[in-house]
Every structure is written in structure tokens, then in C-alpha cells.
Amino acid sequence: MIRKNTEYPLQPPRERGTGRAFVFALAMHALLGFFLYHGIQWQNSTPEGAEAELWTEVPDSAIPRVAPPPPAPVAPAPPVPDEQADIALQEKKRKQQEAARQAQLAEQQRQQKLQAQQEAEAKRQQQLAEQAAQLAAQKAAAAKQKQQQQQAEKLKQQQLAEQQKQQLKEQQEEQKQAEAEAQKKADAQKAAKAKAQAEAAAQAKKVDAERRARLAQMQGMAGPPGSTGNGLGKSGTGSGSGGNAASPGYADKVRRVVRPNISWGGETEGLETVIAVRCSPTGTLLSATIAHSSGNSAWDDAALRAVQRSDPMPQDIDGKTPPNFRITLRPAG
């Protein structure tokens, strides 16, 4: 039975029973030496001769007896010839040599068989090592491929994130640019509106100045104020007039048109705004400007919007709207 060496798998395994075989071979050599020694000692010893004792009876002189015949001489044992002993010794040596040669041959065969087994085991271990190396290489290649795939996936995710980030940045820039353009457009519109309002205010001032000049001229032609009852008196939220004569009920008509358009939720005490109005004969509002401010810009704007929303102005009893008149507005208290 062959015991495998687990500590060194590539070394040939040690065979069990080697010690017993060594002891047995030593015993055989000792026995062979003993036989050789005694065989040589027996060959060198000198054979001893045979000894014999003869006993004879004392003759009786009174009774004559017949003498027995002499005993036949004992022939000594023939010596073993030296040639036969040499032959036997040589035969014995030959047998011993043959036995030693057979034992040596058997030992050689056993050693060859053991070496073949060891070589086979070493080859098997080498094959196992190669298979293990191939398996490890395959595992390493698979792990490397998996790592490369993970790195590629990670790089792809990073690129996708970068693209999304770039798209978001571009969208934000586009949104900012759009907001900037919208703001710029709004600023331009606001500037244009402010410019238009300034031009309208300048035009209104110019028209108002012309109206005042004509009114002053007409009043000078008509005589002192109050002599003929020209103009409309003030009313609580209503209107007055200057310029061409208006019927006494025209102020109520203006009040009924303007009052629903007033939108005001602030304070009411002490606010009074005078709006100068210029209209066409059909009542179309040509211009409306603040002739006298109340000191509260919010109320002034509300009063001006109410007049502008009242376009067209009502016509008088003659079917025409006075061309110029003023409306005095106070919030309802």
C-alpha cells in the first residue's frame, strides 16, 4: 500500500514496509554468511580415523577350546574426495549466488515497479497541478472579464450622468437665456410704455395748455364767470366742465358712467382728484390726464383708470359730447 505525502504532493510517495524489507534482507545476508562460513570450515577439517578395541578371552588350560577365527579387519571409511567437496561447495555457492541474483533481480523489479508507480503518481500530480492551474487561469480570466465589464458599465454610467448633467446645464443656460431675453423684452416694452406714457403725458400737457388757452379765450369772449351760467357745478363724485356749455343734467350722466368703474379699497378721507378730459363730438375719449392730484398716487391712478374705462363719454342733450371738461372725483365714503 502506497502512502501519499500531503505536505509535498509533487514528491514520490513513500512505500510502507521498507523497514521490514531492509531487516529481512539483513537477516538473509547474515544467514548466507553463516552457511558460507560453516561450509568452508567443514571442507578444511581433517577426517578422523576409526578406532576399534579387540577383546579376547583368557584360554582355560584345563579345557581346550577351539580358537575362534580372527575377526575381519574393519575397513576404514573411505575419505571424501576433495574434488567432490569443491564441486558441492561450488554448487552451493552457485545456488547462493543464484538466490542472491534472484533476490537482487526481485529487488530491482520491485524498485522499478515502485519507481514506475512513483512516476505515474508524479505524472498524475502534475496533471492535477496543470488542471488546477488551468482552472485558476480560467477563473482569473473570468474575474478579469467581469471586472472589465463592471468598469465599462461604470464608465457608461458616468458618461450617461455627464451627458445628463450637460443636458441639464444646457437647459438651464437656455432657460436663463430665455429669461434674460424675456426680461430684456419686458424691459424694452416697459421702456417703450414709459416712453409712450411720457409722450402721452407731454401731449396731454400740450393739449391741456391749448385747451386752457382756448377756454380762457372763450371765457373772455363770454364775459365774467357766472354771468350766463356756463359750466357744470361740482358734485360729490361727479363732474364739472369748462369750455362749451353743457346741460345741467350732463354732470349726472358723467357720474353714472364713471362711478361703476372706480375700483378703490383704500382710505377715502381728504382725497380729491381732478381729471381733464378731451373728447370727440361722438363721445370718444381722446385724452384723460390728471389736472390736480390728491397727493395719493394710488387714488390718482384709480381715478384716471375709472375715466379711461368710461370711454366713450355720454352725449349731451344736443347729441354731442362737450370737447373739453374736467371731472372731479372723490372716493365714496
Write the CB contacts of 244 (distance below 8 Å, at least 6 apart in sequence): 218, 322, 323, 324
Backbone angles phi, psi at 11, to 5 degrees: -80, 150
The answer to whether the predicted template modeling score (pTM) of the entire model surpasses 0.85 is no
Per-residue pLDDT of the chain (333 residues; tens, 9 = 90+): 455 555 555 666 666 777 888 888 889 989 888 888 877 765 555 555 556 565 555 555 555 555 666 666 655 555 545 677 788 888 888 899 999 989 989 999 999 999 999 999 999 999 999 999 999 999 999 999 999 999 999 999 999 999 998 988 898 888 888 888 888 888 887 788 778 777 777 776 676 666 665 555 444 333 333 333 323 333 333 444 444 567 788 888 888 889 888 888 888 788 889 999 999 989 898 999 999 988 888 999 999 999 999 888 888 888 889 988 888 888 876
Task: Name the residue among 315, 319, 234 with its Cα closest to residue 279.
Answer: 315
Domains of the chain by range and CATH? 231-329 (3.30.1150.10)
Q: Cβ distance 330 to 272 under 8 Å? A: yes
Task: Name the residue among 262, 246, 264, 263 with its Cα closest to residue 314.
Answer: 246
DSSP string, 177-240: HHHHHHHHHHHHHHHHHHHHHHHHHHHHHHHHHHHHHHHHHHHHHH-STTSS--SB---SS-B-
The pLDDT value recorded for residue 140 is 92
The pLDDT value recorded for residue 12 is 62
DSSP string, 241-262: B-SS---TTHHHHHHHHHGGG-
CA distance 244 to 242: 7
Q: Cβ distance 310 to 229 under 8 Å? A: no
DSSP string, 284-327: -EEEEEEEE--S-HHHHHHHHHHHHHTPSPPP-TTS---SEEEE
The pLDDT value recorded for residue 199 is 78
Collapse the DSSP code of 328 into the 3-class scheme (helix H, G, I; strand E, B; otherwise coil) and give the result. Answer: strand
Q: Cβ distance 316 to 246 under 8 Å? A: yes
Q: Cβ distance 272 to 286 under 8 Å? A: no
Number of residues in the chain: 333
**Cell digits for 203?**
401731449
